[in-house]
Chain A
């Protein structure tokens, strides 16, 4: 399972600090992630895990700290940032599909508009990705006709269409009905285990963490309190806070 075979991190967050007004939400969070690595971030709501994820592609602006991609520090404005975002895909809790476009249009939008890929090529690519997430037959419908699980799989295909080096998942299953969680997690697991995708996943799906993660981080009160392999994290967590949290999750 250990895929951390390269020494140089592909993505590196250093000493990220973030306040909402006077309230500190991130108090110096650092994370290095190697190519092909899958990192799962868990933690109670309000622990800062989503905010940290959003700081990585600058959807939130950290007041202090740096993000580096392939060893290059990213500046907050302009081209640097838009280029970084083409390399780092994001999947949102509430899908955020574009309702005025068909499923196919959603998946093609990035490649055609940003990468300037020819239409035909983008369409072929998009159809292949939809096939991959099991929605080949839904290409021409509008998102409003899909179930939550299907929407999230389209959102994953949309992110993949940019051929990103890293995928960020912000609680991708939290807004789903319980019976729809499985199909989304399965797609994510295939990405992690078969495609070797580099992923940072904020989630409470422990079986995804167990079966796909190389590392699990537990965030608490704006810091990474504990970091371990999934086996170690779930069987013998070090901190009392981690134990409490895991207990609560498993009891639900």
Chain B
């Protein structure tokens, strides 16, 4: 058995480019999912801090249900569960599931950030005669968004990795591509390493961008 090594990693650079389109799908699902999540999150966060009791309850239930169940289950409910009414294509299912799921987490990020802004800001804005909505939009939210950047960045990275669950419903993203290439070449490990490197490239770039944004925002901050 001397010199035995079961894997041939020389195929890693050779086959690397064959995953580019799959990585494109991963990015596509993640980006749209995050965008949907940000919009959902903002609406749910505002509902949760609203003065209307019914809206508070609704937001709380949403967060409770979505955070309390697995993303994979949510994905299956949309893709398989809804077929009695409507057939949601795989790609759309993945985007919707990621949006709904991240919406709940991002709502909590926004709520925390909004509530961390000194209440004196709201009072100063209201004392100028602004409505609550305008004070929120002009004064509180711009400051809250800045504070939300670090936890949001974290959530983006989680979402990027979570997009791999779409492989279970036949979206041709990175992980599915890795499994297919592995089974057709019998080089599972090699192909999965390629997948890992693609993920690391993307999360690495994302981390770097988030870090840059954070540093930029720090300059103009502090009152």
Contacts and interface: CB of A to CB of B under 8 A. Distances in A.
Interface stretch (B118-126, B156-164, B185-193): B118-126
A13 interface: no
Interface residues of A, number: 28
Nearest to B127: A90
B220 interface: yes
Contact of B126 (A85, A97, A144, A162): A85
Given A99-B143, A109-B138, A144 B118 contact: no
B139 interface: yes
A54 to B, nearest CB: 9
Contacts of B121: 96, 98
A21 B36 CA distance: 42
Nearest to B117: A99
B129 A162 contact: yes
Contact of B128 (A97, A99, A100, A162): A162
A142 B128 contact: no
A56 to B, nearest CB: 11
Contact of A110 (B118, B129, B146, B223): B129
A132 to B, nearest CB: 18
Given A100-B143, A113-B138, A89 B222 contact: no
Interface string A94-113: 11111110000000011001
Contacts of B21: none
A82 interface: yes
A114 B220 CA distance: 25
Given A99-B222, A113-B138, A144-B221, A94 B120 contact: yes
A3 interface: no
Interface in B114-155: 118, 120-121, 123-131, 134, 138-139, 142-143, 146
B220 to A, nearest CB: 6
A96 B142 CA distance: 15
Contacts of B130: 82, 110, 113-114
A149 B127 CA distance: 21
Nearest to B129: A86
A110 B125 CA distance: 8
Contacts of A99: 143, 221-223
A143 interface: yes
A57 interface: yes
B56 to A, nearest CB: 20
B120 A92 contact: yes
17 contacts: A82-B129, A82-B130, A85-B127, A85-B128, A90-B124, A90-B127, A96-B118, A96-B124, A97-B223, A98-B124, A98-B125, A98-B223, A109-B125, A109-B128, A114-B129, A142-B220, A162-B128
Interface of A: 57, 59, 82-83, 85-86, 88-90, 92, 94-100, 109-110, 113-114, 142-144, 155, 158-159, 162
The 5 closest A-B pairs by CB, nearest first: A99-B223, A86-B129, A96-B124, A110-B128, A96-B120
Interface of B: 118, 120-121, 123-131, 134, 138-139, 142-143, 146, 220-223
